[in-house]
Amino acid sequence: APIVISRDHHDVSGTDSPFRETSNIADGSAFTADMAVQNFVGDAFRGATWISLHNGGGVGWGDVINGGFGMVLDGSEDAARRAESMLNWDVANGVTRRCWAGNSLANEAIRRTMQRVPGLQVTLPHQVEDDALLDAF
């Protein structure tokens, strides 16, 4: 019998909330809805059965954007292909965001993931090494 997996929010890539999931993003993007929207659209293109983009999530209306998905898994080869594609994207998107924000462990993880996942190509950040440049801003 088919099963369904789903995710609403509370995850590495599906939520933009400066008070919860993205509270550790120190590059200024914790206050934008970019990644939740990218994740929502990316899940759709990679085979989610349904997707959702919604607000709220326990921290207050207007303080969070969540991108969710549902996926029916029926045992078919197509379902396996869609699950692998979408779930790899769903997680890698959030790890990439943390890489861009300067998290060294996320940088290491996404580099390993790009070696393992065919077709995944992430634009890696260039770290500023001159403290004078950092102090100027």
Position 51 in a domain: yes
Position 106 in a domain: no
- Letter for the amino acid at 9? H
Instruction: Please answer whether residues 86 and 102 qualify as being in contact, where contact means their C-beta atoms are separated by less than 8 angstroms.
Output: no
Gap between the Cα atoms of 95 and 87, Å rounded? 13
> What is the residue range of 65's domain?
3-97
Question: For tokens 């090494």, what's the residue?
Answer: 129
Please state the pTM of the whole predicted model.
0.79
Statement: residue 33 has pLDDT above 70: yes
63 or 79, which is more confident?
A: 79
pLDDT digits (tens, 9 = 90+) for 36-52: 888 889 999 999 999 98
Gap between the Cα atoms of 82 and 109, Å rounded? 22
**Total tally of structural domains belonging to the chain:** 1
> Count of CB atoms within 10 A of residue 131's CB?
8
